[in-house]
Structures are given as structure tokens and as C-alpha cells.
């Protein structure tokens, strides 16, 4: 599972500015789709070869009476789920009582904490840093998040506290066989019920496979002679053994599972209808570029009218899901559950497609012949060359001139064209544009 970095500090110290810096490399990858907004609190980031999850906790004010608020509780949950905490303080404001209160709070949580002194631009870092030593968290690391300064040095310090994710990832590739499936959805959507149903029908017990432990959240199983690994963030298997432990829903664990998976099965609760949180969680799936199958669960017990309403709502509220297969299921009764696997297989294969350069060039030429890119400042935008730059999801890199000026509508046109022509269902695709002048 990917390491988690939590950003903590009182309001206005620069957490969201730093969040943007740490997740910036993903910006180009965020799907350009109606109805989807980029998550400003949870993000995936990458520096060099190392990737991580970042959570902007939204902040602790440091005032005791607010610690019971929902925001404070969420901050504390994020801190307890993180691997390292970046505690931001403001070089311009100087040390405040609120900083001291936050420091005291963090100290008892026993997580590695790095003290980050932000807004050092135009200041003498040594002079401003001096007073912050008294927090007892070690020497402040000076940065200027707004200018991207000091971030590399900061990240080098962060790595000291994180496991070597690359080595771990390779190990993990080799260890968990078959297609890895994450079950994602808001609390009560039916994830545990679906996982139990699937595992109840499995032929090979996880504990029969060497090296697997009962506590692992990775659960290998077989179905129709095919190997899969289920990623259990809902704690289904532990819950079955330890009756009291009803795990709290965690966006961080959800994001880690999405990241570790090949295909996400996203559960919607047809009886509750589509909620804000569904769009939010789907945004995280899209941001990660995962292959996706949408399972509309609890289809049992709905009248024909209600069913029509849910279907209309899907198109209205989640139009960006047009690329994914939708299956209407009942995890409780098992209806439609078997069909999910064919859809998972198709989505997986689509995400791993390899398209040759000549084939892509042919499709690009056809697309350009039908609709030319627009003129910008009297010059036509030229798209000259395309090749595949990656898979899971498929990335197509298009080289040309003035590609920065390409309108979103034209990008969508190309994206839809490639999707249709390559018959890609179940995976997002990404187009990257490079100007080669």
C-alpha cells in the first residue's frame, strides 16, 4: 500500500499550497470530464520514482474547544492513518500559541513529524527558524510552498520515514496473483455483502495459498479457473472473526485500495440513490486512472418506476461514467454477481491494450481529416505524431505545435474518437500533448 503523508497546521500556513505542489505532477492526468472536480484534499503524488498519497487535513486550529469538532476528528483520523506528518508553521507570523497546541496534540500521537517552516521567501531562514526549535519537534525545514522552493529537500527528509515503495511494489506484483479488484463505495453500499458472497463461492481458500495470512487485506481467490485477488478495505474477513470490530470508513484506505488495484468495482446503493459522496469517491477512482466496473447494488425490491429513476439519475449525475460498464446487481441475493467478472476481465484487458504507432497514426489522421484543430492567433494548431506512452490506463502522447492552446472540447473530441475506434470499454484513457518546437 502506498505511503501516506498528512499535512497538518493551523489555517493559512500554506497546507493547500503545499498540497498542490506535491500533487502537481498528476494535474495533467486529471480527467477532463463534465461533472468531475479534482479533489483538493486527497491526492496522489510522485517525486522522481517515488509515489505517495497526500492528505490535506484542513487543519487544526490548536484551540482546545474545537478538538471535538468533526473537522478535528477527521484530522486526527488522517494523522493516525498516515506514515509521516508534515506540521506546517508560518515564518511570517512567527510562533503562536496555536502552533504549540498543535505540537502537543501531535506529540501524543506517536507519528513521525517533520516541522516545516513555510513562507521563508524573502526572509532569513536561520533567524526565523530559531524560535520554532522550542516546539521540541526538531529543526524546522524551510520551504516556500508558493514558489516551489525547498520541496525537494523536504521530500528527501520525508523518504527517511517511509519504506522503499519501489521495492515493495515489485514484491507486491509478484505476490498477489491475477487481477486485483478493489471494492469501493460509501458506507452501507454493500461492499462487505458482495465480498462475502464472492468469497463464499470461492473454490480455493486464501489460507491454502502459501504465505497468506488471515489478517492480510489481500485475499486471493479463484473463479472459473481464473485467479483474482480481492482487496478488502472493509475488514470483512477480520469482522467475521472479531465480531465487535466494525471498521470506520476511511477515505485513505479507500484510496490505497484503489491505487493497489487493477480494476475497481464501484458500488452504488440503488435504494438510497446517488449521493454527493459517490461522485467524490468516483473522482478518486478517475484521478487514479483505474479501470472501472459500476455495480448498482440493491436492485432487488425496487419497483419498475424506481428502477427507471435510478437509471436516469445515473446519466444525469454521473455523466462521466459513460466509459464504464454498468451492472445491476443484488449482492444480498447474488443476482448479477457472476456477470461482474466478465466485465472486470474486459475492463482489465482494455486498460492493458497495446496499440502500434502506425495504427494510432492512421486514427489520428482520420480524426484530423474530419475536424481540424482550431486556429490560434492566426496559426492552425498542428498535431503531427502520436504514440502510446503507457498502460493502465492507456496513455497516448500526441506531438505537435501550440498544443497548449488546444481547447478542451477538441481534446474531448479526440479522446472520444480514440475510445470508439479502439473499442475501449471500462478504462479511462489519457491524451498527453507535447509541443515539439
Report the binding-site residues for GTP. 9-16, 56-60, 118-121, 185-192, 232-236, 297-300
Judged by CB under 6 A, the stretch of 63-71, 330-338, 389-397, 405-413 that binds ligand GDP is 330-338
Determine if 331 is a binding residue for ligand GDP (CB under 6 A): yes
Applying CB under 6 A, among 45, 185, 220, 289 the residue interacting with ligand GDP is 185
Centre a 10 Å sphere on the Cβ of residue 386 and count the other Cβ atoms it contains.
24
Applying CB under 6 A, among 2, 119, 180, 253 the residue interacting with ligand GDP is 119
Applying CB under 6 A, among 192, 233, 254, 402 the residue interacting with ligand GDP is 192
Which residue's CB is nearer to ligand GDP, number 144 or number 206? 144
Determine if 256 is a binding residue for ligand GDP (CB under 6 A): no
Determine if 189 is a binding residue for ligand GDP (CB under 6 A): yes
Determine if 300 is a binding residue for ligand GDP (CB under 6 A): yes
- Strand bridging mode 263-269 / 218-223: unpaired
Which residue's CB is nearer to ligand GDP, number 185 or number 289? 185
Residue 364 grid cell: 489520428
What is the nearest approach in angstroms of ligand GDP to the Cβ of residue 246? Answer: 9
Determine if 4 is a binding residue for ligand GDP (CB under 6 A): no
Q: x/- string (CB under 6 A) for ligand GDP, residues 204-243?
A: ------------------------------x---------
Counting beta carbons within 10 angstroms of the beta carbon of residue 288, is it exposed (0 to 12), middle (13 to 18) or buried (19 or more)?
buried
Q: How far apart are CA 242 and CA 386, in angstroms?
A: 54
Q: x/- string (CB under 6 A) for ligand GDP, residues 50-69?
A: ---------x----------
Residue 276 grid cell: 454527493
Residue ranges in 354-413 that form contacts with ligand GDP under rule CB under 6 A: none
Determine if 121 is a binding residue for ligand GDP (CB under 6 A): yes
What is the nearest approach in angstroms of ligand GDP to the Cβ of residue 92? Answer: 7
| Phi-psi domain of 364 (left: phi exceeds 0; alpha: psi -120 through 50; beta: other) | alpha
Determine if 71 is a binding residue for ligand GDP (CB under 6 A): no
Q: How far apart are CA 45 and CA 61, in angstroms?
A: 26
Q: How far apart are CA 285 and CA 31, in angstroms?
A: 10
**CA–CA distances in Å: residue 123 to residues 12, 74, 147, 295, 365:** 18, 34, 13, 54, 54
Determine if 199 is a binding residue for ligand GDP (CB under 6 A): no
Specify the DSSP class assigned to residue 184. Answer: E
Find the helix or strand (DSSP H, E) in which 179 lies. strand 179-184
Judged by CB under 6 A, the stretch of 139-147, 218-226, 387-395, 428-436 that binds ligand GDP is 139-147
315's CB contacts (< 8 A; 6+ apart) are: none
What is the nearest approach in angstroms of ligand GDP to the Cβ of residue 362? Answer: 45
What is the nearest approach in angstroms of ligand GDP to the Cβ of residue 251? Answer: 14
Applying CB under 6 A, among 45, 140, 142, 190 the residue interacting with ligand GDP is 190
Determine if 128 is a binding residue for ligand GDP (CB under 6 A): no
Judged by CB under 6 A, the stretch of 144-152, 397-405, 413-421, 428-436 that binds ligand GDP is 144-152
Which residue's CB is nearer to ligand GDP, number 19 or number 433? 19
Which residue's CB is nearer to ligand GDP, number 187 or number 407? 187
Q: x/- string (CB under 6 A) for ligand GDP, residues 7-26?
A: --x-xxxxxxx---------
Specify the DSSP class assigned to residue 134. Answer: G
269's CB contacts (< 8 A; 6+ apart) are: 185, 186, 188, 189, 190, 297, 298
b/e per residue 60-86 (b: at least 16 CB within 10 A) = bbbeeeebeeeebeebbbbbebbbbbb
> Can you name the residues that pair with 221 across neighbouring β-strands?
228
Q: Are the C-beta atoms of 371 and 406 separated by less than 8 Å?
A: no
Q: Please give the backbone phi and psi of residue 16, each rounded to the nearest 5 degrees, phi first.
A: -70, -25
Name the site residues for ligand GDP (rule: CB under 6 A).
9, 11-17, 59, 118-119, 121, 144-147, 185, 187-193, 234, 297-298, 300-301, 330-332
Amino acid at each position: 500500500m502506498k505511503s501516506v503523508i498528512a499535512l497538518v497546521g493551523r489555517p493559512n500556513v500554506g497546507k493547500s499550497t503545499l498540497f498542490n505542489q506535491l500533487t502537481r505532477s498528476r494535474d495533467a492526468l486529471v480527467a477532463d470530464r463534465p461533472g468531475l472536480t479534482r479533489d483538493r484534499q486527497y491526492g496522489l503524488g510522485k517525486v522522481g520514482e517515488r509515489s505517495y498519497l497526500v492528505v490535506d487535513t484542513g487543519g487544526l486550529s490548536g484551540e482546545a474547544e474545537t478538538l471535538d469538532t468533526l473537522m478535528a476528528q477527521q484530522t486526527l483520523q488522517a494523522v493516525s492513518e498516515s506514515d509521516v506528518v508534515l506540521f506546517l508553521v508560518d515564518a511570517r507570523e512567527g510562533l503562536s500559541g496555536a502552533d504549540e497546541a498543535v505540537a502537543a496534540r501531535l506529540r501524543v500521537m506517536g507519528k513521525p513529524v517533520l516541522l516545516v517552516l513555510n513562507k521563508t521567501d524573502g526572509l532569513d531562514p536561520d533567524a526565523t527558524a530559531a524560535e520554532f526549535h522550542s516546539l521540541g519537534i526538531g529543526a524546522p525545514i524551510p520551504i516556500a510552498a508558493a514558489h516551489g522552493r525547498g520541496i525537494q529537500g523536504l521530500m528527501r527528509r520525508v523518504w527517511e520515514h517511509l519504506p522503499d515503495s519501489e521495492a515493495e511494489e515489485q514484491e507486491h506484483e509478484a505476490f498477489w496473483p491475477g487481477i486485483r479488484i478493489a471494492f469501493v463505495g460509501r458506507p452501507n453500499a454493500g461492499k462487505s455483502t458482495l465480498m462475502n458472497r464472492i468469497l463464499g463461492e470461492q473454490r480455493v481458500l486464501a489460507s491454502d495459498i502459501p504465505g497468506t495470512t488471515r489478517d492480510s487485506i489481500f485475499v486471493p481467490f479463484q473463479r472459473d479457473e481464473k485467479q483474482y485477488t480481492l482487496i478488502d478495505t472493509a475488514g470483512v474477513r477480520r469482522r467475521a472473526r472479531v465480531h465487535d470490530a466494525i471498521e470506520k470508513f476511511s477515505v485513505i484506505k479507500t484510496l490505497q485500495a484503489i491505487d493497489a488495484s487493477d480494476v475497481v468495482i464501484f458500488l452504488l446503493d440503488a435504494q438510497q440513490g446517488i449521493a454527493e459522496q459517490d461522485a467524490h469517491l468516483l473522482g478518486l477512482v478517475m484521478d487514479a486512472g483505474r479501470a472501472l466496473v459500476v455495480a448498482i447494488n440493491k436492485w432487488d425490491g425496487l419497483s419498475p418506476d424506481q428502477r427507471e429513476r435510478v437509471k436516469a439519475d445515473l446519466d444525469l449525475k454521473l455523466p462521466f461514467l459513460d466509459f464504464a460498464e454498468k451492472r445491476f446487481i443484488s449482492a444480498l441475493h447474488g443476482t448479477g454477481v457472476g456477470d461482474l467478472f466478465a466485465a472486470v476481465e474486459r475492463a482489465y484487458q482494455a486498460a492493458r491494450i497495446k496499440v502500434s504507432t502506425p495504427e494510432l497514426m492512421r486514427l489520428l489522421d482520420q480524426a484530423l481529416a474530419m475536424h481540424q484543430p482550431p486556429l490560434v492567433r492566426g496559426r492552425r494548431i498542428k498535431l503531427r505524431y502520436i504514440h502510446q506512452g503507457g498502460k493502465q490506463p492507456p496513455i497516448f502522447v500526441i506531438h505537435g505545435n501550440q498544443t497548449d492552446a488546444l481547447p478542451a472540447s477538441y481534446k474531448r473530441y479526440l479522446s472520444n474518437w480514440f475510445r470508439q475506434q479502439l473499442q475501449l470499454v471500462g478504462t479511462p484513457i489519457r491524451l498527453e500533448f507535447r509541443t515539439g518546437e
